[in-house]
Structure 1
Amino acid sequence: MTPEEASSFAANLDRLVGAVEEVLLGKNRVVRLAFTALLSEGHLLLDDVPGTGKTSLARAMAQSVKGTSNRVQFTPDLLPGDITGVTVYDQRSGRFEFHPGPVFASIVLADEINRASPKTQSALLEVMEEGQVTVDGQTHAVGHPFMVIATQNPVEQAGTYRLPEAQLDRFLMRTSIGYPDHASTIRILEGADQRAHGHQIAAQLDGEEIVAMAASARTVFVDPTIHDYVARLVDATRTAREVRLGVSVRGALALIRAAKTHAAGRGRHYVVPDDVKALAEPVLAHRLILDAEAEFDGVTASNLVSQVLIETPPPSTRQAV
């Protein structure tokens, strides 16, 4: 990536974020994280209570990139075919025809994903990793861009199934929207006569441009000292006494991918340690499994990642290449 391409990337990202902020007021960081995940070709997990704007975020993102959005309400009786689609026999043609499920969209909102059975949750594994679904031996691509925004309620756990570690590892980031601040709440109340779902935002870019931006983000330069820094951070999560399972190699790769997009979004064609620090918590925390005693003592994955960042010195000089 050249400096000029980085500047153009940052300008386009600012346009996308600004457009979605018309719907999701006062949530610049969350919106920017969501687009960072999209442009890093990853997926987003939102741990949040109902009514914070999760559906509005997915719909607004799809509108801003001139794409489609689908919402799937996960329930205990939801079947894998309800998500991926099914093959139906057509008597008139005498052939089996594939009827695509809601996963065939640019932005897919998997609402309360932990309310479905593990078998149904696993229906998303292939499409999240490879961008395709396999039904009755036939593979169907979902297209690009593609992103899953999954939500789960961190408060109400009755009748839920904990997400397996293999699926958590496939989410590039986990964050929460949270309640708006006082000023944003007043603006929301002033516009209470207009339903959020009825608010249409203008498309800023199309799907091909988003795919091109994602390809461009992959070319951001990463110095070997940054690779070493990320490796040391990951190693530190594995050796911490409070951790039963540390960050996987997939997690380390995800942090590098996200850091590249973050750098380009700031108008830089190279990654600096601050890019890694800014994304370490949303990218790494949900991949950690803490020891039971540590959880009982009040230790959280987010706190542990913060501690690892403090104890792991970033590179101070750039390696000559």
Structure 2
Amino acid sequence: MTLSNTRPASGPADRPGFWGRLSGSGPYAALTDVLLASPRRQFAILLIVPVIWVLLTHLGPILQMINVSLLTNYPPGPNNVPTYTLEHYGKFFTDSIFIQPFLRTLIFSSVLTLTTLIIIYPVAYFLARHVRRDRQMMFLMLLLIPFWVGEIVRIFAMMILLGNNGALNLALQWLGLTERPIPFMYTGFSLSAGIIYLTALYMLMPLYSALEKIPPSLFEAAADLGAGPWTRFRRITLPLSLEGVSSGCTLVFLISTGVYATPVLLGGPSTTLFSEVIAGFFHVAGDQWPVGAAFAVIMLVTALLLTGAFTKLMAHLAGRVKQ
């Protein structure tokens, strides 16, 4: 019996992977062998692009804004070299005219976040617990359709809805509830409705994700033990969805504190938010840009501190529930 000297054809399992083909023969074989010598180096190479992206598009602008806030003037001129100072931060604390819109923004964002949670939680609960799994994605896509268009388009849609000749006023007059149009526009109501409409998705997705993960067996066991609907919600649904509540509230609060186009188009003189004050410094001469940057840093740091404290509180409550 003779043995064949021919090599059997290699199957899919014998074919080299991506890293193996990359480190094969060629002019760069030695370099790739060094770079890809271990899984840790492979992971580091894959991590380079997203890290650079985050540094350039997220962290970089924030650092530049902090740098501008510390300059005496910006942009620098040939005969006007800027120096570093803290006087722009002191202007916020010494001039009381800026405190009112700052506090209004924090209070307004907090109340708006709670309102959005109350409105969206039943929607997320219905979608996660009462819609068949094979239809959940379809309903979710229907809810996401309005968010496929830009923010400005959605704001103008809200203006058309709430205007004196808008759909809401026409419906109220047709039902005989009012004789003349109600001035919804340029009030706290129109501003609140616009921001809730813009931020609803950021509350819906975390809540839906958290509620959808709750095992149905927990509700069945609680019902067998005699727990009613309210007891099951209070003892099971709400505690196990705290992570979604925390994520959704954090996103909505941060967006509400920094939103600009919505208060400009839907708000009025009595609803001026701090983002409009910040933008005002960038709409005038360049020597006011450091003041606007300083105010932006103050709002950013305050919002991050508040959301950090809120997240820690919710994490503590969620930890107690799991215990």
TM-score, normalised to structure 2, is: 0.26
**Counting strand residues as a fraction of each chain, which structure ranks higher?**
1
**Counting helix residues as a fraction of each chain, which structure ranks higher?**
2
TM-score, normalised to structure 1, is: 0.26
